[in-house]
Chains A and B, each alone.
Chain A
């Protein structure tokens, strides 16, 4: 068995998360001999001027991307209102008749901060 040694490194993709509640964001790729060095390079190469809460490095070969053919599966017809609130907007008017507000996204998400008891 032959040990082939190259003088250059592996490709790592770098991701970060700004805060504990934000989604992970892709930055760029870098070359490093291993993941420990890759993670040590990541912040100073791509996030020198921004605060981050966490960093991920992933060896590029471990990322499976879509092929051109597969990307075609991403297309959708524009007829899926039934899946979103857009298809139910008429409720606002309906509820108004009964003197009730709309339980829209803004209202429902606001319950996360606690609901005040009321009649």
Chain B
């Protein structure tokens, strides 16, 4: 019985991590709407943000089916300390607000998007053989859309770093240095991580696979492959978060919170 309870909580924790990651990641992407480096890219990357929000909705739906409450409530009505997303994903796109003086950094967007998508692709690959059947089924579908996301961000990453444009290269390097110290948060499975792996919900060793995947890309653009990946600001999987998340949640739930019982 105790095992059953542990299993249930592990499944829910994993689903929350997946849902919350995509939810906040999509939000950061959506803040870029209308602000991308050129119009064609604005349109193209908007699809990726939509797909990602769509994935979050599917993961919240799985939680809803487990009796965790309505998917919209899960997305809009949980305080920061209950959120399970990695801290690096909640970090603001840059100083300013998306409606006023958004001093956003495309280099950070490209680096974070590429790194995250690579990590997500590895996870989703593993989830396709998850012992939790509904998740395995969902993972097979989500995987289809990741080909494009990954190719898209990898292309930007490689082209900007390979541009031999001094400013571009230094901005990209700075973005990498900003991202890696917190990027382990994406690989973390939180306090129930061991159980998740033991139960066959997901494979461990995501970070190692990620390093293997990005190493040839780094080498192709002449970057050193000594990755200093950390969790400097803490582990979001355990409810540790920053003010950036608080502010984001306030925006994300502004209308929802104005009347939680209403139908919108």
Q: Judge A-B direct contact (beta carbons within 8 Å).
A: yes
- Complex Cα spacing A34 to B156, Å: 12
Q: Indicate if B7 sits at the interface (CB-CB under 8 A).
A: no
Whether B159 pairs with A9 at a CB distance below 8 angstroms is no
- Complex Cα spacing A64 to B39, Å: 27
Which residues on the A side are within 8 Å of B41 (C-beta)?
41
Q: Indicate if A36 sits at the interface (CB-CB under 8 A).
A: yes
- Complex Cα spacing A41 to B43, Å: 8
Q: Indicate if A44 sits at the interface (CB-CB under 8 A).
A: yes
Q: Indicate if A45 sits at the interface (CB-CB under 8 A).
A: yes
Which residues on the B side are within 8 Å of A30 (C-beta)?
40
Task: Count chain B CB atoms within 10 A of each CB in A9, A30, A34 and give the residue with the most.
Answer: A30
- Complex Cα spacing A9 to B41, Å: 12
B41 nearest CB neighbor, chain A only:
A41
Which residues on the B side are within 8 Å of A45 (C-beta)?
40, 43-44
Whether B44 pairs with A36 at a CB distance below 8 angstroms is no
Whether A37 pairs with B47 at a CB distance below 8 angstroms is no
Known: A9-B38, A31-B38. A37 touches B159 (CB 8 A): yes
Whether A48 pairs with B47 at a CB distance below 8 angstroms is yes
- Complex Cα spacing A34 to B47, Å: 21
Q: Indicate if B257 sits at the interface (CB-CB under 8 A).
A: no
**Chain A proximity mask over B117-161: 1 for CB below 8 Å, otherwise 0:** 000000000000000000000000000000010011001000100
Task: Count chain A CB atoms within 10 A of each CB in B38, B40, B43, B151 and give the residue with the most.
Answer: B40
A38 nearest CB neighbor, chain B only:
B40
Whether A32 pairs with B159 at a CB distance below 8 angstroms is no
Which residues on the B side are within 8 Å of A103 (C-beta)?
none
Q: Indicate if A40 sits at the interface (CB-CB under 8 A).
A: yes
Which residues on the A side are within 8 Å of B46 (C-beta)?
44
Which residues on the A side are within 8 Å of B39 (C-beta)?
31
Known: A31-B40, A32-B40. A40 touches B47 (CB 8 A): no
Whether B155 pairs with A41 at a CB distance below 8 angstroms is no
Q: How far is the CB of A80 from chain B (nearest CB, A)?
A: 44
Query: Which residues A46-102 have CB closer than 8 A to chain B?
Result: 48
Task: Count chain B CB atoms within 10 A of each CB in A9, A31, A34, A45 and give the residue with the most.
Answer: A45
Other than the given A36-B159, A44-B43, A45-B40, 5 more pairs (CB < 8 A) read A9-B38, A32-B40, A40-B155, A41-B40, A44-B46
Identify the 9 closest CB pairs spanning chains A and B, nearest first: A44-B44, A44-B47, A41-B40, A41-B44, A30-B40, A45-B43, A40-B155, A40-B152, A45-B40
15 contacts between A and B (CB under 8 A): A31-B38, A31-B39, A32-B40, A34-B159, A36-B155, A36-B159, A37-B155, A40-B44, A40-B151, A41-B40, A41-B44, A44-B46, A44-B47, A45-B44, A48-B47
